[in-house]
Amino acid sequence: MKTDPIELELFRNLFVSIAEEMGAVLRKTAYSTNIKERRDYSCAVYDAAGETVAMGDHMPVHLGAMPLSVRHAIEAHRIGPGDVVILNDPFQGGTHLPDITAVSAVFLERSKRTSFYVANRAHHADVGGMSPGSMPLAREIYQEGIRIPPVLVVRGGVVDRGMMQLILANVRTPDEREGDLLAQMMSNKKGEERLRELVRKYGLARVERNMRGLQDYSERMTRAAIRKLPRGVYRFTDYLDNDGVSKKPVKIQVAINIRGDHAEVDFTGSDAQVEGSINANYAVALSATMYAFRCLVAEDVPYTAGLMRPIRVIAPERSVVNARPPAAMAAGNVETSQRITDVLLGALAKAAPDRIPAASSGTMNNLTMGGWDARRRQTFAYYETIAGGMGASRVAPGLSAVHTHMTNSWNTPIEAFERQYPMRICCYEVRRGSGGAGKHAGGDGIVREIEFLTATDVTILSDRRARGPYGLNGGKAGKPGRNSLLRGKKNIAIPAKANFMSQPGDVLRIETPGGGGWGRK
């Protein structure tokens, strides 16, 4: 039965609106600054088979990887009415430990069959481990925090207090964690409610038909975009500065084979998994690939499972793009995902040189901090990512001071930051002149200075400090980033990946990379 294109567009917006409303509930009921202010979460709707139907306008690195979480949850449990499965294990569908995914099944009235699934993923500001914020300079995953396989934390609408207490006993900020987890449960509940309303209004057969129609439409649009590319194999290689343990650059390499209306994306040749925490899993490699190819489609294609049907991803096991236990994974989801995106776009630029922009900042500039707040008489833990410059393109300069590619979070407003934590923002400005020169210049990065009012355990996981984001078609590279600690009259250089104890009065200065330029000036 053919789908009416007007009806299909109607249902597309209905499904997306459900994912967006789930996000609104999560944001408004969460406890942490990271979710309420930075919006570091994602929500999505799935069909009865666990295939993606709609995603909110949230975090690309979450959204492309979440289907594997849903699949592992379904395989691990027979999810019943009112149940919620949570997980964060990178080797069972998660990405890195701070990202906790909540999965629920949707049952219609008087039905014992699962009709849909809803899920959300939120970055928790602390899940234990060796450093506050749970983004440490780890050498194995056991140092990074509590590792949660797919477990039932809600059974028939009742929270399993034993399971909840087990989780909360392993984190530094249990009240905040419990609030955020409960917010995730309410987010899924809202998604279930809206899907049932949709079925009551339009009927199950019509809803399911349009779900399949959207997936098929996404597939057709992706195939059409791939078909426009010249046949051939397109290669690109780029490097992460280091893994935080050794000083050796870490290679990520890709070969994209375009064959008619489908593509093979092969990461063979990338370095083996490393000792530090920049290892990514297969879900992250898949997520970055989905994002890069979606960018090729000029139209506003629905973000469904159909996008990946024409694409095969090869990521060798025990490599830095498909690591296995006991690899440390904290930075793989944030830093390595950005570099995977850079190599994918670099390869695609050879196939479509006028359509692909130069490299953006290529790092999320992850900053985690924690300690004891004497004024509030409580432990604190904080996490944020800091924006940089966007790469320029054939049609325009890059934007300045913006989150790009696999991250889509907001900044933490200064007022909210200073009210919540024993720190002060001394400077927050555009890093003028950091974008690469070219016919179109790359966007500029950011300068952010934070003064510590109490002794604080600080971890930085950043990149693009050794080499700046590449330019394209003769454009120059953006300026590399720089980290430093101002202690009295001393200016202490801080490596790209570092952990240190600050003293009251210290000022941490982070200068983020600018984007690459496009075209000769």
Question: Tens of pLDDT along 421-477?
Answer: 999 999 999 999 999 999 999 999 999 999 999 999 999 999 999 999 999 999 999
Is the pLDDT reported for residue 331 higher than 60? yes
Is the pLDDT reported for residue 3 higher than 80? no
Is the pLDDT reported for residue 1 higher than 60? no
What is residue 61's predicted lDDT score, i.e. its pLDDT?
A: 79
| H or E element in which residue 389 lies | none
Lateral strand order in the sheet of 41-46: 52-55, 41-46, 114-123, 99-107, 84-87, 151-155, 158-159
Is the pLDDT reported for residue 197 higher than 70? yes
Place of tokens 């392993």: 170
Question: Tens of pLDDT along 27-42?
Answer: 999 999 999 999 999 9
Q: What is the DSSP letter of 336?
A: I
* Residue 385: pLDDT band with limits 50, 70, 90: very high
Query: Mean pLDDT of all residues in the chain?
Result: 96
Q: Are strands 151-155 and 84-87 parallel, antiparallel or unpaired?
A: antiparallel
- Nearest-angstrom CA–CA distance, 385 and 59: 13
What is residue 433's predicted lDDT score, i.e. its pLDDT?
A: 97
Average pLDDT over residues 279-291: 95
Is the pLDDT reported for residue 513 higher than 80? yes
* Residue 63: pLDDT band with limits 50, 70, 90: confident
Q: Are strands 84-87 and 99-107 parallel, antiparallel or unpaired?
A: antiparallel
Question: Tens of pLDDT along 404-424?
Answer: 999 888 899 999 999 999 999
Give which of 89, 155, 82 is closest to 118, Cα–Cα. Answer: 82
Question: Tens of pLDDT along 110-128?
Answer: 889 999 999 999 999 999 9
- Nearest-angstrom CA–CA distance, 254 and 268: 7
Tally the C-alpha atoms within 13 A of residue 224's C-alpha that lie toward its C-beta.
Answer: 10
Is the pLDDT reported for residue 396 higher than 70? yes
Question: Tens of pLDDT along 265-282?
Answer: 999 999 999 999 999 999
What is residue 50's predicted lDDT score, i.e. its pLDDT?
A: 97
What sections of 203-325 are H helices per DSSP? 204-227, 282-296
Provide the percentage of residues in the chain whose pLDDT is more than 90. 93
Q: Are strands 262-266 and 311-314 parallel, antiparallel or unpaired?
A: parallel
Task: Find residue 159's DSSP bridge partners.
Answer: 154
Residues in CB range of 213: below 8 A, 6 or more apart: 3, 8, 11
Give which of 45, 48, 185, 164 is closest to 107, Cα–Cα. Answer: 48
Is the pLDDT reported for residue 397 higher than 60? yes
What is residue 56's predicted lDDT score, i.e. its pLDDT?
A: 86
- Nearest-angstrom CA–CA distance, 263 and 405: 21
pTM exceeds cut of 0.85? yes
